[in-house]
Amino acid sequence: LVVGVGVFTRLLVVFVLGTFRNPELFEYDDMARSLNSGVGYVYPHFGVEYKSYYPGVPYIGWTAFLYSLFPNSVVLGQAAVLLAQSVMSGLLAYVVFLIGRELWNGRAGVVAAGLTLMHPGLAYYDTHKLHPLSFDTLLVTFVVWALLLLRTSESFPKVLLTGIVLGVAMLQRGSLALFVPVSAVWVWLTGSQALRIQRSVVFALGVVVAISPWLIRNYQVHGVPLMTTTNGEHFWLGNAPHSLGSATLPSGELVIDQSPAAVWDATSEMEQNEIYWQAAMDNVSADPGGFVAGIFKKFVYFWTIAPQTGVRYPGLYSIGYFAFYIPLMLFAFVGAWRVANRDNYDTTDALWVLLLIGSVFLSVSLIHSLLYFELRHRWLLEPMLAIFAAIGILKCCDRTVRPGQPVSG
Mean of the per-residue pLDDT values of the chain: 92
- Whole-model pTM: value is 0.92
pLDDT computed for residue 178 by the predictor: 92
Query: Which of 201-210, 259-268, 344-353 bottoms out in mean pLDDT, i.e. has the lowest?
Result: 344-353
Integer Rg of the chain from CA: 22
Which residues share a beta bridge with 48?
Answer: 45
Question: Which tens digit of pLDDT belongs to each residue from 353-398?
Answer: 888 999 999 999 999 999 999 999 999 999 999 999 999 999 998 8
Question: Which tens digit of pLDDT belongs to each residue from 230-288?
Answer: 999 999 999 999 999 999 999 999 999 999 999 999 999 999 999 999 999 999 999 99
Which residues share a beta bridge with 45?
Answer: 48
Question: Which tens digit of pLDDT belongs to each residue from 309-324?
Answer: 989 888 899 999 999 9
Q: What is the DSSP-derived secondary structure letter of residue 201?
A: H
Mean pLDDT across 337-364:
81
CA distances from residue 116 to 92, 108, 318, 380 in whole angstroms, order as listed: 8, 12, 18, 11
**Cβ-based neighbours of 278, under 8 Å, separated by 6 or more:** none
The Cα–Cα gap between 355 and 347 comes to 12
Q: What is the DSSP-derived secondary structure letter of residue 197?
A: H
